[in-house]
Amino acid sequence: MYMRLVQFDVAKGALSPLREHYANRIIPALQDMTGCRYAGLMQSIQHPGQCISLTLWDSQEGAQAYEKKGVFQQLMGEARPYFSSSSEFTVQLSENLTLEYVPVPIEPVVRAFPIAEHSDDPGPAQGQSDAMWLRIVSMKVLPGKLEEFRRLYAEQAIPALRKVKGCRHVYLLESDARSHEVLSVTRWDSKQDAEAYEKDGLFEQLLETQKHLLSGLYQWKRGLGKEQADHSATSEDVMVEHYTVLAGRNFK
């Protein structure tokens, strides 16, 4: 399986029309694409002006065909009126040689990942909406430790998460080898279920079993003690992001 994440900033006041456009135009278009299993529009809880479009595919070839046929570019072009412009400006000379300030548009950031491990829960039936909450944990793994991390995730994290109330799907995504980044993506029935999972300490327990495989900077921070760690930040911290699903549908 394969996952694509397209991240973009939404223009002020455009979230509701974007949601309608995604449900009525983008989801039906993706449903017609061979190999697409799911499409969903999700809004960041930490950064409400930021959204992601998440799609699941049977294979990398299917996702690449979606781009090569020009469908992705066409859909992005149609959705562009809903995207925000950057707060940064460039200075240039106009045709009459006067200075003018031109906003720099924010282009969607596309990230694609092979799915290394995942739960085999079939989820809701075709045509139904999917779980209403998404949780993404990004981690940096030590060089040469990816295989061991993958094994631990499959043997410990997935079985534990499948027993947690409301956890619908579990995915481990691997970025390119140079960045040593992995993403743990879980989809939930509700915000309350995801928050209960965090509060009961299971997340910290699972992280503890994997910490020796994570970056040296992260291990150093864990060694500081909780109070000092809470007041320090590194470029390789374990990052937890939450998203609410605005529109989504399973196709298989």
Residue 92 has a CB neighbour count (10 Å cut-off) of 9
pLDDT at 113: 64
Q: Which domains does the chain have, with CATH numbers?
A: 2-86+101-250 (3.30.70.100)
- Residue 63 and residue 33: Cα distance in Å, rounded? 9
**What is the number of residues in the chain?**
252
User: Contact 250/128 with Cβ under 8 angstroms?
Assistant: yes
Residue whose pair of structure tokens reads 């960045």 in the numeric block:
179
pTM above 0.85, yes or no: no
Averages of pLDDT over each 10 residues, the chain, 252 residues: 88 94 95 92 90 90 91 91 67 54 57 69 49 83 88 91 90 75 87 90 87 62 45 52 86 76
Kindly give, in sequence order, each residue whose CB lies less than 8 Å from that of residue 178, ignoring residues fewer than 6 positions away. none
- Residue 7 and residue 106: Cα distance in Å, rounded? 10
Q: Which of 213, 214, 206 is nearest to 238 (CA)?
A: 214
